[in-house]
Amino acid sequence: MKSASLAEIRKELKNLSREEIVGLCEALIRYKRENKELLNYLLFESVDEDSYAVAIKEDVSEAFAATNTSGFYLAKKSIRRALRIADKYVKYSERPETELDVRLHFCEEMNALDINYKRSKVLVNLYERQLVKIKDVYSDLHEDLQFEFKSRVEAV
């Protein structure tokens, strides 16, 4: 079954009443957790982007606090979990400052770990991929915003 194009969906949504649109949103929310999280962000979190970024960073910090550093295998699993949390919530925000802030926080937390991640090729690659993403987002920012993040980017 082929789905309709975005233009066709927009046209059809314009023809629906408010109650029908609310019903469609409820159906989307009911069947997919990601849709519910996105709608939650759009309705409640997008108003105050700074507090949203702080909440994401707290979740990432909690994931790092729960990291088992007794071995690379368990540490790798925990670090990947923290990265999944960061990636999941960053994709909802369309502001590059939020993405940059969260990714920098992830790298800072990873550097603060008790484990020497540089001995594991997988963890080094994971860290370097984050640095590439940081540099991509940083280069796309306005000059004033680049100045605000300059010291943090250079420290990582």
Q: What is the pTM of this model?
A: 0.83
Domain ranges of the chain: 49-155
- pLDDT for 144 equals 81
Answer whether residue 140 shows pLDDT above 90: no
Each residue of 34-58: pLDDT tens digit?
888 888 888 888 889 999 999 999 9
Between CA 5 and CA 70 the distance in angstroms is 50
Q: Can you say how many angstroms the Cα of residue 14 is from the centroid of all Cα atoms in its chain?
A: 31
